[in-house]
A and B are shown apart, each in its own frame.
Chain A
Amino acid sequence: MQLHINTYGTYVHVKDAMFEIRRKLDNGNLEKRHFAASKVRQIVMTTGMALSTDAVKLAMEHNVDLLFIEQHGKPIGRVWHSKLGSTTKIRKAQLQASLNERGLTWVKGWLIQKMENQRNFIQDLKKHRATMADYLDDKITKIENLTNSVQLQEGQSTAEVSDTLRGLEGTAGRLFFETLSQVLPKESQFKGRSNRPAKDPFNAFLNYAYGMLYGKIEKVLIVAGLDPFVGFMHRDDYNQLSMVYDFIEPYRICADEVVFRLFSGKKVNKSHTTEITGGSSLNTEGKALLVNAFNKFMDDNAVRYKGRNLVRSHIIQLDAHRFANSLIEKEQDANLDFI
């Protein structure tokens, strides 16, 4: 299970080889809850908490992922044992691929998959919205054209065409979110993506959902033995999780879909967000709603993948392993098929 610790002043430490979580309740009483280390998979903590080093040790012993996030969901860092997930050979191959045309093949694959996911999602929306068919068809064609342009990009390395790719990707994204907003009920519509702060509840939910996804992707990369900081397309800035931003693209649709369904199903209301200067932010209730919906989507509903029924979290991990294996040529650069 995941433990999401949000209450200010909560203390996480160890008692009898179990995690003890101590917090003050509103009525002033002290609440203590115990969780067996073998049952906990991840502890997610926001700021304003305390954590003991013994708790960190217990977490490392049981492969529990300690993730620290900001209030709006962006991961700040994590505690994970410092071993590589796999062989160093993978990291060397990853560095090489980042400089040659193999990296570009992968980047194009990820972007095309992302845009195809967006296209398919709009196609799905058409099923129950006959009156908007023309509008949606128009968007589908535009995104398909962009996908073809990505396909046509050639170069000796990703750097040569990365600006063009970023442009095409950005345009597809704008079209996609424009469509989502158009389809939503009037009161949930929004004007494009916004970050820090999110200008509307939809963006607040989406930012938090992407935040959770970033955390997940970083973990699958580490587990597969890849370096989350060596990206193919995203710039190698100081402390940029470049590979995370590259690898996340095909899976962003998971976050998009969960958030969209919450809004289109009118599950979200005023009690889930708090207004802040210049925008909106998720509160505890909103986070609980989103996290539960997201976990259910990623870990409960199995989808078909290579002839097996698997949950999405597992598929992402398998894709990461497949990517790593292809880098060290255990597997050919097989045709990429994600979710």
Chain B
Amino acid sequence: MKHALHSVVFALFLASTAALADDMPTYKLTMKDGRFYPETLEVPALTRFRLEVKNEGPGATEFESLELKKELVLAPGVTRNLVFYPMKPGTYKFFDDFHPETGQGRIVAK
């Protein structure tokens, strides 16, 4: 029963991400040498968007933002997507939890 419920939830989740995947603006973010490129991302406010995060290494990185409620560990050479829900205009910080000194960036929603 528990397993069945889990599968249903998972299938719904996959279906919803697949449905969303097509008509969303996508922004690219590269993590390299402990830094973000670009460090400031401008996105439209109140719009759902996708962020394609790529870790070009060397070393593993962790894209994290407590205020955006995102946490993503990336082994070197890995690319993964994050979907952001519509945000109010403002500045939102994110950081690389494995390189907190140099890896600081922000999303500016306008």
Same complex origin of A and B: no
